[in-house]
Chain A
Amino acid sequence: MVVVVGCGGEEGKATQTPQVQATATVTQTPQGQATPTPTPVVHSPKDVILATTTSTQDTGLLDVLVPIFEKQSGFNVKVIAVGSGQALAMGERGDADALLAHAPSSEVDLVNKGAAINRQLVMHNDFIIVGPTNDPAGIKGMTSAVDAFAAIYNKGATFVSRGDKSGTDQAEKAIWKKAGLDPKGQSWYEETGQGMAATLQVANQKDAYTLADRGTYLSQQKNLSLVVLVEGDPALFNVYHVMQVNPEKFDMVNGPGGAAFVDFMISDATQAIIKDFGVDKYGQPLFIPDAGKDESQLTPG
């Protein structure tokens, strides 16, 4: 007779009570005597710390998905919404169990360092370049983000950047780099260091251009007089991945919980919810579900 008590990694169905410790397995040898075989003690807590970005939380998508996940899995999710930089830093220190971010190059770094595993594509939305209705740099309708940025640079029109190492910020920096331009230090280039909604407000007040994710723009539209000027360029795709923080590397990380969340995000049911999210409120979906797709189709060009 073999009795095993421990933490199972069943997908999305773990119902452990908090801080239950695994006890040793007891194997009965042919002689009929019990010999305890020590197994490593594993904590199976109920909490899953999800580090994500403020822009993701601000769309309200997690307010819909997280309760569903909690109900299905029995885990209790603590959603910590901070800047991308901080979210990934938390992953690097083992202070979170799962990460949901949209800063691909930094995420890949994390995986290469062994801090993150099981990185899966979840969805994408796009960035748009918004600005004042009078459009001083004349970028309306351009199909190339690079060209639009060049026009803004040459005009010296006010541009507000997040400047916070977030996914949005990284995408914006990539476009400047591709255009061969460096706006840093220019008098017309402002860095707020804040989240997307706050940055849009600043751009709004200053009648300036900025790069925003469509989701946040739609949710803030009622407060803004900025309009969409450039969209659709593949360089403007904003790709979201979910991943686990590596439980092998940090022993306080909730491995089963993190794995369950990753599986949840790429499951068909969840992807269906993502597909329709935002339609009733904004008339268009905020995200496009991508689980299982070939990444190269979506990499900003």
Chain B
Amino acid sequence: MSEPKLSLRDVRVRRGRAEMVNVPHLDVLEGEVLVIIGPNGAGKTILLETLALLQRPAQGRVLFEGQPVDGRQLALRRRMAVVFQDPLLLRRSVADNVAMGLRLRGAPWSARREKAAHWMRRFGIDHLARRSAVTISGGEAQRANLARAFALDPEVLLLDEPFSALDQPTREELLDDLSDALRDTGVATVFVTHDRAEALRLGDRVAVMMGGSIRQVGTAAEVFAAPVDEEVAAFVGVENIVRGRLKSLADGLATIDVGGAAVQAMAPGLDSGSEVLVCLRPEDVVLEPARLDSHTTSARNHLRGTVRRITMIGGQVRVVLDCGFTLVALITKQSLEEMGLAVGDEVVASFKATAVHVIPRGT
């Protein structure tokens, strides 16, 4: 197991009196894409700038390949590349901008031209090479920004919400292109975002940052399905977080009393009688009209409930139910039409025991 590419140990960053970032331990591994996700104001940008050696922490150490960075920040910055939300191109041609990083590092003209041309083609902007950077669109500018970074063959690539200012279709295109480029180059990457979809799409590992500290690090599956506490759960999109009491436990399968209903979930290591939070993603809830006698799903949990509200979100439908407690389900438009659901209808909400994530209360 090789050294992590970048590491933070006991790092604290202050702005004036306020402590903005407090991270005792964080590693960026060779070849991985680490996504840092969190709400606005969580300190993600500061964290990224600290990793990129653009900021010095008030306390703690930054390590590059296991060695402290002190005294060689400029040399190390020249082995990395940064992409911000604003393209920040200079008033020159697109080609000059894409080659700018190489020029700053003293690369010869032929190498600059070749690499710039390759990456402009890769990101689909080679037809804009001679254009002045102030005349291109936001999406095109961000492509140039990415090309500029990749042209440097960096050992670490750091991106700070690069797509947040773009419209949805552009965002998706760029996400595809970036994903391909990351996969082909295999460069260690830190990707900061507040968008869960981007995190799921790109991240090998996901770190959830809130209030200046990292609450949880793990694979996307781990973080999204098993958030470590209520705050993280709410942020990663677990909409259903309800209180319950663990009634019985057998072979790790627990029965939890939630608002009068019984929910079965995997909850190893917890004690009977303990107060818990039951977390369930809306996508994991399947709905069927209550009039059916048999259940078509193999899920362990079947709760009767009444439809209280139906909302369209993009191509999906958010259904709010009352099952003795409020339960939110996310179904397709097709399902809605097939079932002919309307407010007031009786439904059965089904979900697997494995889809339920249990957090002890008081965390």
- A–B interface present (Cβ within 8 A): no
Binding site for A on B (CB under 8 A): none
Binding site for B on A (CB under 8 A): none
